[in-house]
Structure 1
Amino acid sequence: MKIRRILATAVAAAVTTPVVFLSAAPAFADTKPAPASTQKTTPGDEDPDFDEYEKLVAAVTKAEAKIAALDAERDGYEKKIAAKDVGEAVATELAEAKKALDAAKAAKTTADETLAKAEAALKKLLETPAEGETPPTEQQKADAEKAVADAKKAVEAADAAKAAAQVRFDAADEASDDAMVELFRQLSRIDKELKTAQEELAAAEKALEEFENGGLDDCKVDDAVKVALTGPKKVTVGTSAIFSLRITNTTDRVLDQVEAYADATPLLDGEGPEDENGFFKRYITVEWTGAGNPHWSPVTEDFDAVEVGAIAKGGHADVKLRLTLDAKTPVGPGVAFAVGAYENNDKTCGLGEEYAHANFDILAAKTDKPKPQPTPSETTATPTPAPTAGGNDNTTQQGGSSSTPVKGNLAATGANENLTQLGLAAAATVALGAGALVIARRRKAGANA
């Protein structure tokens, strides 16, 4: 994804003109090029880098949601601890047990007092009566002794009730303590999970950042691969036109896998057309053919590449592009564009720093109705402009038609998906201006919805 961010920044000049040469450093963090044999894509394949990006974003979102949930759970336990919220059942039992214990203690106090009074009365009754006093009767002594015995039994019952109440209260109190301990244990558990979740979030954010921003040394922008694109100046709506694309290896070594990315679009006020949802409208179907690909293969929204294969040092390969204009293609200016890229077996890779383009006029389809002819007037004929050269060493051409035959030694290797996406994203930027990358991403997001 780094290439798209770099290109979006570098393409400020493209807002005023649809054709510029960009200089940026494309890279995909943690996305090492795989062997060519495993890179073959077919129309309709999913974008693996977009899928990876979505997975990384999902991992960050999931970690953030987990942290938010744990934070909320922790707040809940902190409030319970502050309120000593041990649960309704435990709290109710503790309250009732304390009430029963208090009652048992009060009953024991009353029993003890009653016993003390009974014992005091019996003691006084048994004392030697003073001179002139009447001694107690045997019945009075028996009643006093019975009162003491009854009081002792009441004290024993009070002791037993108090002991039972104490056991009940101790159990309820222990249950309450256990509940509080459990609250603190849950708080500790949450803190551990929060630490893990925060580490997971940090790792997910790092992976996403590296995917978006890292790996600048993996691929580079250079002039190792240059492209030249030529084609007719005028194309009629509802017809097809053949454009020629030459891909040149400017280095002093063999480039093991060379690819090009091409597309075309009508230009309305210098920008690519959008549909009612703001997505990029594909009015023009682009197909390619070459020695390694004898049949016409479409360039799709999945950013399929023009797979050239290996090119010897200083060599080149030629392919043809067939542009077919939909019947609803807006008339006016149009542009075809292409950029080259390469990947070597030693894992070096790069994107061309120059983007070939070929401007053409989109003409309305012919009708059978005769049109009134304007009165001829003397005018000065404007000569048709010759194909212009751009970039370094005049390798990027635009306009005009070409009879260059398809030739070159092309290897039928698989396309590198990383280069495919970043390459066509770059080419789209050239043609459509600063909004092209956003449109391409939105289109892809819509396709995956």
Structure 2
Amino acid sequence: MKIRRTLATAVAVAVTTPAVMLSVTPAFADTKPVTQPAAEPNAEPATEPTTEPNARPVPQTDSRAASQTEAGQAQAEKEAQGKPTLKELEKAAADAQKAYDDAVAAERIAYKVLEEALSDTAPLTVAAKAAQKAADDAAVAKTTADKAVTDAKAALDALTEEATEEERTAAEKTLAEAETAAKAAETAKSTADADAKAAGKLAEDARVEANKTYDAVKAAVKDALDAKTAADAALARAKEEEDQGGDRTCVDEPRLTTVATGFPSSVTAGTRTTFSVRVTNGTDKELDEVLTYAGVHGDDKAGLKDIGKYLKLKWSTKASPEWKDADNDSYFDAVGALKPGAQADIKLRLDVDAKAPAGQGLTLITGGYFNEDGACGFAPDDVLYEFDIKAAAEPAAKPSPTPTATTPAAGSGVTPQGSGSSVPVATTGGTLAATGSSDATTQIALAGGAAVLLGAGAMFVVRRRKAGADA
């Protein structure tokens, strides 16, 4: 079963900018047929070329429909002929990986250069400090010379009429010498000031240039990561299609929605937090089996270490309140069949291991369906929720024990459907991942984690479908 919505497109929507994705080689391009002409006024929006059971057709003339069908078939044949082979995609993914590794290596070098340029021991910085000290010394010398002129003038003026000619000549000579020395000191100060200014500018220019170079290299790392993500996604898609075989096309179904509420903006190691997900079938047909996907990923503050092993998601429903783990592919059968316009509420719990270090986390929640007649689809609005991970606080000194009433431990037993978190946390209504640390390294790592979640989310319905077919 081929997947119409590619992982590369999913990553482009939620992780990267369209401009970057468009720069990726056409080997990673989506294989959708060209967009059909706009329908006539008051017509419903057109969907994928595959006709879904009970779907209402877009009003148009037979000749127009036939023309569009022929155009779509011709485009599909053209794309099939130009489709890259698995070997070509593997090479493209390997090349993208190498480019990314090279960019990361260049970033390390640029950062080292920047550190050296900003250090007090940088040659230009040392030279600038020496030049400034010379300027300061020249200023002191000029002040001393100016005072000598003042003192010589005062001594000459202080001579009385009884002063001998020799005394007056000596005083005048002292003044002349002091004035000559003052002029020389002034010239030396001007030269030293100019030298200090020039040396300072050289040092500052070196720091600015190092900063610009580092920023450019960081941007290159991001672009390389985007290209690598697209290449990996295209390869994964091709392998998935090769494994599945057949010609059934899964389509985007924007009227199948999954919305999370009460998702935390931050969690603390050693706590658990609950939130809700509502799945809504906004279509005009019954969906035989609706699946929900929830994946979680985490990185430490430096963005260098995957800490996802400390994060666990569990789910429950009103009909089945006992907490259950999602399976290995992070999807769960909590909904089942869903009639047109019907909704289903799922309760999720995020458990954070007490050993979890501080960092950043991402959760992707989405859904999909497949029907007994073979039709299947995805909820296209994958939403990433970003949250801060706080390390557990150091244990406080234990106070002297005092008798207290026995109360159940927080989070123990079965939490009734719809209740809040067992540990108070700040919550939000669920938004696209656009907050958190501004550290570039952490954001790059989170982007990679988002790509992993998106890739898994885009394929979970297909894997479930295949499992059902093999049973």
Band the TM-score falls in, shorter-chain normalisation: 0.3 to 0.5
TM-score by length of 1: 0.38
- Higher RCO (CA-CA < 8 Å; seq separation 6+): 1
Larger radius of gyration: 1
TM-score by length of 2: 0.36
